[in-house]
Amino acid sequence: MKSTISGFHQDQLGDWVADLACGHTRHMRHDPPWQNREWITTPEGRTRFIGSVVECKVCAESGQEGHMTENEAARKREQQRIAQAVRAACLQAAIEAYEYAQIKGLCQEGAWDLAVDAVKTLDLDKVLEGLPG
Ligand SMILES: [Zn+2]
């Protein structure tokens, strides 16, 4: 989620913290070579960044579901539908192969190999075609 910087303050350790328009805060450390923000150390630099757009992690985490558009929600439902269909098909293939192996009298290890093979070679196109509309 995007937010804008409305001001700055220092925390107890003297690190600079940006106040965001959304009411959250974000640390803006100048810690070279990992974080290079020399501008944060001067009043001019900080003034320059007021009003600039930054990513707010708190908003992104707390508002994920609530801020999803109808399109995004529909896309997620579709992805879940496909994922569930693939899981069901994998399970079915594994169970069928395992039962087949037991009927054929294969040992545990052989039955397991067959079940894993069945999942590996599962025809995904067929799974997708068979998706309930
Ligand atoms: Zn926020």
Q: Where are the domains of the chain?
A: 2-62, 70-129
Tell me how far CA of residue 5 lies from CA of 40, 120, 123, in angstroms: 12, 51, 51
CA of 25 to the centre of ligand 1 (A): 7
Place of tokens 């399970």: 91
Q: How many whole angstroms from 6 Cα to the centroid of ligand 1?
A: 12
Ligand 1 center–CA 26 separation, angstroms: 9
- Å from CA of 35 to ligand 1 middle: 21
Digitized pLDDT (tens) for each residue of the chain, 133 residues in all:
889 999 999 999 999 999 999 889 999 999 889 889 999 999 999 999 999 999 998 888 876 545 567 788 788 888 888 999 999 999 999 999 999 999 999 999 999 999 999 999 999 999 988 887 6
